[in-house]
Amino acid sequence: MKKLAPFVILLLMAYPGKAQNKKLLQQYERDTIQTVNGQIVITCIGHGSLMLEAGGKVVHIDPVSIYANYALFPKADIVLLTHEHDDHLDSRALSLVAQPATQTIASQSCTGRIFSAMFMKNGEETKLGDFTLKAVPAYNVVHVRGGVPYHPKGDGNGYLFTYGETIIYIAGDTEDIPEMAELKDIDIAFLPMNLPFTMTPKMVADGARSFMPKILYPYHMGKTDPQLLVDLLRGSGIEVRVRDLR
């Protein structure tokens, strides 16, 4: 995560509109992906917080205030929320990125925490303009607390976000569950890698090998050393891109 010093924030506030946004986004790691429909720009904000820009639309994923000053970010056309935990669902960040036409998509576990959202269950699919979105399972099997999984099956969502022919898998908080092996034609995957809440590097590597994305971003990493994952997937044909997503 890139933290902005106070004097940088003051400087950015002097830039109105798009110029301000452009200056802000230069502080973050951004990757451009070419698709048949045009570019997708991925902004790696921090932890589980991401932003996608494609087709003239802005998609915020799990925006959380401690990872960015969302008052300075582009407003959302779409917000995706994977589950209800505070490091993924932050009402303040949501209020800052929202505009009247914002479409918010959330897991069933977010019911009661937010309103005016479309709550999707695992397996459901919807069309959002030029994008297709499918909610997929995200849960723990191995890692539990008091006999209860940190993320019970059916509560949270991962998402398959499709633009043109390009599919991005945003896994949410999950382990290397059997459903990963059913994924097909994934171009880009974001897989979480921190204990005790999600996966070890070995679990991430095993999960990735089960569906073979072209590009893999470890995210939600905490203090996990991403080099461990790079070493495990060396020679696999999967490109591992390490960004500051702790």
Choice among 69-73, 130-134, 144-148 with the minimum mean pLDDT: 144-148
Q: What is the pLDDT of residue 103?
A: 98
Q: What is the pLDDT of residue 6?
A: 40
Tracing tokens 């209020």 back to the chain, one arrives at: 95
Comparison of pLDDT for 6 and 231, the residue scoring more: 231
Q: What is the pLDDT of residue 78?
A: 98
The answer to whether residue 16 scores a pLDDT higher than 50 is no
Mean per-residue pLDDT, 121-149: 96
What confidence tier does 23 reach under pLDDT thresholds 50, 70, 90?
A: low
Average pLDDT, the chain: 92
Q: What is the pLDDT of residue 25?
A: 73
Q: What is the pLDDT of residue 115?
A: 87
Mean per-residue pLDDT, 145-161: 96
What contacts 90, CB < 8 A, 6 or more positions away? 63, 64, 65, 66
- pLDDT single digits (tens) 35-70: 999 999 999 999 999 999 999 999 999 999 999 999
DSSP 3-state of 87:
coil
E strands, the chain, are 29-35, 38-46, 49-54, 57-61, 78-81, 103-107, 118-120, 125-128, 131-138, 144-145, 148-149, 156-163, 166-170, 188-192, 215-219, 239-240
Instruction: Give me the DSSP letters along 44-86.
Output: EEETTEEEEEETTEEEEES--GGG--GGGSPPPSEEEE--SST
The answer to whether residue 208 scores a pLDDT higher than 90 is yes
**What is the share, in percent, of the chain residues with pLDDT greater than 70?**
90
Q: What is the pLDDT of residue 20?
A: 56
Cβ-contact 78, 57 below 8 angstroms:
yes
* Rounded-to-integer distance, Cα 224 and Cα 147, Å: 24
* Rounded-to-integer distance, Cα 78 and Cα 134, Å: 14
**Domains and their CATH numbers in the chain:** 30-240 (3.60.15.10)
The answer to whether residue 14 scores a pLDDT higher than 90 is no
Cβ-contact 107, 133 below 8 angstroms:
no
